[in-house]
Amino acid sequence: MKVTAIVLAAGQGTRMKSDLPKVLHPICGKPMLWHVLESLKHAITEKPVVIVGYGAEQVKAFAADSAQCVLQEPQLGTAHAALQAESLVKDKADYVIVTYADMPLLRGQTFQQLLETQRLNSGPFSLLTVIADDPRGFGRIVRKADGTVAAIVEEYVATPEQQKIKELNVGAYCFKADWLWDALHRIQKNPRKGEYYLTDVVELAVKENLPVQAVVHHDLIETIGINTRIHLAEAEAAMRRRINEMHMLNGVTMTDPASTYIEAGVIIGKDTTILPNTYIQGDTIIGERNIIGPNSHIRDTKIGNGCKIFMSVMEGAVLEDGVDMGPFARLRKGAHLGRHVHMGNFGEVKDSYLAEGVKMGHFSYIGNATIGANTNIGAGTITCNFDGEKKHPTEIGENVFIGSDTMLVAPLKIGSGARTGAGAVVTKNVAEDTLVVGMPARAIKKFERKEKKK
Ligand code: UD1
Ligand code: MG
The ligand that comes nearest to the alpha carbon of residue 198 is 1
Residue 179 Cα to ligand 2 middle (Å): 25
Q: How confident is the model at residue 451 (pLDDT cuts 50, 70, 90)?
A: confident
Ligand 1: nearest atom to the Cα of 51? 22
Task: Evaluate if residue 184 carries a pLDDT over 70.
Answer: yes
The DSSP string of 419-435 is EE-TT-EE-S-B-TT-E
Protein residue closest via CA to atom 12 of ligand 1: 138
Range 264-289 average pLDDT: 98
**Whole-Å CA distances, 141 to 117, 120, 163, 186, 234:** 17, 21, 10, 21, 25
Q: What is the pLDDT of residue 450?
A: 77
Ligand nearest the Cα of residue 78 is 1
- The percent of residues above 90 in pLDDT, for the chain, comes to 92
State pLDDT tens for residues 213-272.
Answer: 999 998 889 999 999 999 999 999 999 999 999 999 999 999 999 999 999 999 999 999
Residue 193: pLDDT over 90? no
Of the pLDDT bands very low, low, confident and very high (cuts 50, 70, 90), residue 27 is very high
Ligand 1 binding site (Cβ under 6 Å of any ligand atom): 8-11, 51, 53, 72, 75-78, 80-81, 100-102, 138-139, 152, 154, 168-171, 197-199, 225
Amino acid letter, 281:
Q
Which domains does the chain show, CATH number per domain?
3-223 (3.90.550.10), 252-446 (2.160.10.10)
**388 close to 430: Cβ distance less than 8 angstroms:** no
Mutation probe of ligand 1 site: the residue of 6, 7, 8, 193 with most atoms within 8 A of C-beta = 8
**312-334: average pLDDT:** 98
